[in-house]
């Protein structure tokens, strides 16, 4: 297992600097490894991390856990919370970890010489015991892990837009196979669909 210092150096290299939320992400992963008795970083796909925010925290999670989006071992559900759930794929045990609300103020007591609150958090979060930095709870996922991971080879075609759907993410509506956007669960809408590729010339502002 890497040292916290090495993990934070790795995280900072991805982020171009080190910030308190990267430290939180890294230490959440390290705390999970203790709770699960699993070594980090993982080189296999035994651990699944579900982050409830994007940005800085994720860089720390990735650096410490070895989990990443490309390996389908990291999911981001942006609830705007600095929290993450760690799932042991073998046992389907899930543990959600989040910082204590009082962690910010407690950080100052660990670094009384800090120049400001930001520095106190950056340095304090690195040395605070887990019991004062985090709260955790055992949780159950809304469905089996197998459904969450699905099969990389699974493919379907949306009966509405005709686009291919991978990883078993299609839904059924009135007996029809649909992608999630066409089923009303998308992040965009498109009143007019065009198959014409946009070129730099067509996208230029006149």
CATH number of the domain to which 56 belongs = 3.30.1330.130
pLDDT of 20 strictly over 90: yes
102 and 170 part of one domain = no
Q: Is 89 exposed, middle or buried (0-12, 13-18, 19+ CB in 10 A)?
A: middle
109 and 164 part of one domain = no
pLDDT of 64 strictly over 60: yes
For the whole prediction, is pTM greater than 0.85? yes
125 and 186 part of one domain = no
For residue 43, being part of any structural domain is answered with: yes
C-alpha span between 73 and 40 (Å, rounded): 13
Predicted confidence band of residue 96 (pLDDT cuts 50, 70, 90): very high
The angle at the Cα of 152, spanning 148 to 153, to the nearest 5 degrees, equals 130
55 and 123 part of one domain = yes
For residue 206, being part of any structural domain is answered with: no
Predicted confidence band of residue 206 (pLDDT cuts 50, 70, 90): very low
Buried/exposed 7-30: b ≥16 CB within 10 Å, e otherwise? bbebbbeebeebbbbbbbbbbbbb
Chain-centre distance for alpha carbon 199: 33
pLDDT of 111 strictly over 80: yes
What integer is the mean pLDDT of 60-69? Answer: 97
Average pLDDT, the chain: 91
pLDDT digits (tens, 9 = 90+) for 166-180: 999 999 999 999 999
Q: What is the DSSP letter of 65?
A: H
For residue 19, being part of any structural domain is answered with: yes
Contact 103, 133 (CB under 8 A): yes
Q: In this predicted structure, what is the pLDDT of residue 193?
A: 54
pLDDT digits (tens, 9 = 90+) for 31-53: 999 999 999 999 999 999 999 99
C-alpha span between 49 and 47 (Å, rounded): 7
Q: Is 61 exposed, middle or buried (0-12, 13-18, 19+ CB in 10 A)?
A: buried
Structural domain span for residue 99: 4-147
């Amino acid at each position: 297992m890497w040292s916290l210092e090495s993990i934070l150096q790795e995280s900072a290299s991805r982020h171009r600097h080190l910030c308190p939320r990267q430290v939180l992400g890294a230490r959440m992963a390290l705390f999970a490894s203790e709770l699960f008795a699993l070594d980090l970083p993982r080189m296999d796909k035994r651990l699944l991390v579900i982050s409830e925010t994007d940005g800085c925290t994720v860089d720390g999670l990735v650096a410490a856990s070895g989990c990443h989006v490309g390996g389908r071992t990291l999911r981001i559900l942006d609830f705007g919370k600095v929290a993450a759930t760690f799932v042991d794929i073998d046992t389907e045990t899930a543990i959600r970890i989040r910082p204590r609300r009082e962690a910010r103020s407690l950080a100052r007591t660990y670094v009384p010489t800090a120049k400001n609150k930001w520095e106190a958090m950056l340095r304090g979060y690195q040395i605070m015991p887990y019991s004062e930095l985090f709260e955790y709870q055992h949780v159950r996922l809304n469905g089996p892990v197998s459904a969450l991971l699905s099969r990389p080879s699974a493919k379907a075609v949306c009966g509405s837009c005709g686009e291919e759907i991978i990883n078993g993410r299609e839904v059924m509506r009135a007996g029809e196979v649909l992608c999630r956007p066409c089923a009303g669960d998308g992040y965009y809408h498109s009143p007019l669909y065009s198959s014409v590729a946009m070129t730099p010339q067509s996208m230029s502002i006149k």
